[in-house]
């Protein structure tokens, strides 16, 4: 769930994702329940496997992080570093002290909980992914297809001698 900035927003996210009696999600008969023909199996087994990961993308969320993570039904968090840095008025400026501090607060806070922890590594460099794994991140979004393709093209063009 993107842009969860408070415990009340986390509660709304839980209500939107989890089925009654825990949440308030609608129980429409759709593909996940085989259009109603597999509803009981879905309700009794598969729906309990749904995980809610809230995205921490704003400095307000960092300030409310303990309350967000401790919201019952939140299974983990995922930090969006670009949006977080943008909320500080410094988009993409990872070396700025307040951006570094916000990311550090995130890492220190999430370690107190036994929940999923994610990060979006923007640069297409595997070393950065290994660094996040070493720091205890459970899941990682690794760059973007356009950055991988663009990096490859730029590298090849530099090597091309015309």
For 120-137, the pLDDT digits (tens) are 999 999 999 999 999 999
CATH of the domain at 37: 3.20.20.60
Q: How far apart are CA 10 and CA 52, in angstroms?
A: 10
C-alpha–C-alpha distance, residues 90 and 49, integer Å: 37
pLDDT, mean of residues 41-65: 93
Residue 24 lies in a domain: yes
Q: Would you say residue 2 lies in a domain?
A: no
Q: How far apart are CA 121 and CA 155, in angstroms?
A: 20
Q: Is there a domain that residue 20 lies in?
A: yes
Write 19-25 long-range contacts (CB < 8 A, 24+). Answer: 19/43, 19/47, 19/50, 22/73, 23/73
Lowest mean pLDDT among 24-28, 50-54, 95-99: 24-28
What value does the mean pLDDT take over residues 13-20?
92
Q: Which domain holds residue 126?
A: 7-159
| Mean pLDDT (whole number) for 140-149 | 94
- Residues of the chain with pLDDT > 90, as a percent, come to 78
Place of tokens 């309990």: 48
How far is it, in rounded angstroms, from Cα 13 to Cα 46?
Answer: 19
Identify the pLDDT of residue 20: 86
- Give me the number of domains the chain comprises: 1
Question: Structure tokens of 104?
Answer: 């550090």
pLDDT at 28: 80
| 108 within domain boundaries | yes
Q: Is 56 helix (H, G, I), strand (E, B) or coil?
A: strand
């Amino acid at each position: 769930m993107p842009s969860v900035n408070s415990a009340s927003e986390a509660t709304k996210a839980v209500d939107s994702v989890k089925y009654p009696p825990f949440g308030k999600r609608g129980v429409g008969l759709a593909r996940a329940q085989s259009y109603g023909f597999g509803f009981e199996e879905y309700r009794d087994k598969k729906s309990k496997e749904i995980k809610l990961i809230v995205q921490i993308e704003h400095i307000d969320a960092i300030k409310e992080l303990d309350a967000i993570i401790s919201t019952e039904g939140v299974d983990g968090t995922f930090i969006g570093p670009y949006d977080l840095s943008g909320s500080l008025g410094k988009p993409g400026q990872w070396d700025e002290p307040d951006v570094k501090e916000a990311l550090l607060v995130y890492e220190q806070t999430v370690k107190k909980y036994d929940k999923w922890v994610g990060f979006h590594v923007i640069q297409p460099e595997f070393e950065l992914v290994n660094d996040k794994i070493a720091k205890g991140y459970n899941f990682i979004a690794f760059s973007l297809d356009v950055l991988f393709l663009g990096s490859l093209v730029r590298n090849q063009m530099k090597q091309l001698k015309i």
